[in-house]
Structure 1
Amino acid sequence: MRLSQIQDFIAVAEGGSIRSAARTRDVSASALTKSIRQLENELHVPLLTRTTRGVVLSHYGEAFLRRARLIATEARRATEEMTQMLGARTGTVRIGVTGGPAHLLLPAALNRFRRQHPEVQVYIDSGRSAVHLQDLRAGLIDVAVSPIPDEGIDHDFICEPLYNNDSVVVAHQDHPLRHARTLRELVGSEWILTTCRMHGPGAAIMDAFRAQDLPLPRVAVRCDTFNLIQALLQDRRLLCMVARQLMQDRVGASTGLAVLPIEDPLPSHTVCLIYRADSPMPPVVASFAAQLRRETHYLINMPDSPLKRPGAPPPPLDAARMESSDMTV
């Protein structure tokens, strides 16, 4: 089995046809067909099913694709790592990050990293934490910055705690329940959920209602993009629970949003730097991770910090302070 055969197979799987994959790989269609046939003979299984519209993966092909992508990624990472160890600062950094860390840590960390490594390309995936873990395992991203689920994660990952991700309830400033102080007052309201799950990060409101032995919230919308959530909250019927840090400079007349002065305990999750235990970071990835740690340290230690150290209790909610237009990160 040769690496070129694996790369040919990935190109076919992603392109959906031999002809498209041949253009991607810059080879003839006949040469690529021969390469795939040799790979199938090596594995003793059919990887592709030919149709009138192109090719689709067989059951074996779908299973092999996950391995193939990991092999191709590790080969690329090995080449980049050797080049970087020789002194070059080129290559790629692929990071998965959820909404809170994306707004708090990435801008400054990325700015410093780009000044140090202007030739390195940075790819940012702002999807959900569950997807990031899958992508880490498949080698599609190098590191993730995300809260970990309540049930924890597998031992094949290393998790470095960065800060506590405290929660607040947000609504339009004219929402009829804008001044509610207990979760019980919010029973029957409609909510935006920021995950497809029903527990843990993104579904913290579900956990909060369960802790108070209240009827579960009515989920009207599921959305994991914070800018879109801000727009959706212009609907005066909707509520959403988000990271406290996201709201530091996003409340008041300019946004139309308000933080409800809820006095009941609300969930808190630890945001971690997550990476694979069995795959050392290449030098430029390690450099990017160092910038994320540096920015976290700075924010935690600044006056009126929006962050708290992992394990620290959440600060008391000061609605007036939260609504101050002077609060920026």
Structure 2
Amino acid sequence: MSAAPLELPRWADYALVPILAVATSFLAAGLVVLAIGENPLEATAIMLRGALGTGEGIGFTLYYATNFIFTGLAVAVAFHAGLFNIGGEGQAALGGVGAALVCLRFESLPAWALIPLASLSAACFGALWALIPAYLQARRGSHIVITTIMFNMLASALLVYLLVSVIGRPDSMSPETRTFGPNAHVPFMHVMAAGLGWSIPATPLNASFLLALAACAALWALIWRTRLGFAIRTVGANPSAALYAGISISRITVIAMLISGGLAGLLAVNEIMGVQDRLLLEFTAGYGFIGIAVALMGRSHPVGIILASVLFGVMYQGGAELAFDKPAITRDMIVTISGLVILFAGALDGIFRGPLSRAFAARRRAGP
């Protein structure tokens, strides 16, 4: 009779496996770069220098990371409840609608009232867009993956309709709203730093980065320090045990999806209130789908999600610098590198977990 496989230590599961996955993905990407006649070490140096070598690069990296934090947290909440929410794109799009409606309707409000109100509206619209798939899963048995995919498409169509026929600028050829008033703008970090007497380069990084960090802290407290968080984790780990303990699975499903949709909706705060200052098409730019990889790499833990978000921010910003300095390495190749990271960190992390489990089991049997 074979012994049960040894579970990996927490530090190995949360750190060693993702590190090996990222290292292997970059090794595979290096082979692709080598195949087109470029030096992979030089390409890596350019990417890291472009993303982390200057204050401006760091600002852009953290700006991208802010979006990934919001969508990664959104996916992570659903993961903890045993749900696979891939509707972050649609929920973020509806979050943009919610934020835009408040910014356009109440633009006379002072910034200290308008920005929180618009942010709350973004979260509520994102949550409401997640409510219908959640209800269908909880009450009708519809699969959350299918319904959230469908709602991504519905959100895209709805956004086009609203921007073309309802709230868009009639004098513009592009489907977008008019520019928001100045009180709706989330302040840039370089402006806030200047107010404190510090000088940092001007970048799109804005105060929504602080909101993203606050969301990480709030999610950690919710999931690991509250009864609701315990119920969410129990439903995700063992629905039968949760039901036996008197936990309503349908209730937890709806609550988890509402929180997930609200977090995805907050992406709009960074994009349309912090940078664009208007609602426009495709402002989500695939961040909702990358959030799935972020949550997988970060093991659905806020600290891991922050680190994974920074990694993808490095690839986005560093990849832009790399494509500029090395024309042979196109943006499509940067997307390929990102895809390799997703592949090894998500779909193929078992190729590292199995050997590591056996290695730790052998070490345990060998003793000290």
**Bigger Rg over Cα:** 1
* TM-score, normalisation: structure 2: 0.24
* TM-score, normalisation: structure 1: 0.26
- Point out which structure has higher relative CO (alpha carbons under 8 A, 6+ apart): 2
Structure (1 or 2) with the greater helix fraction: 2
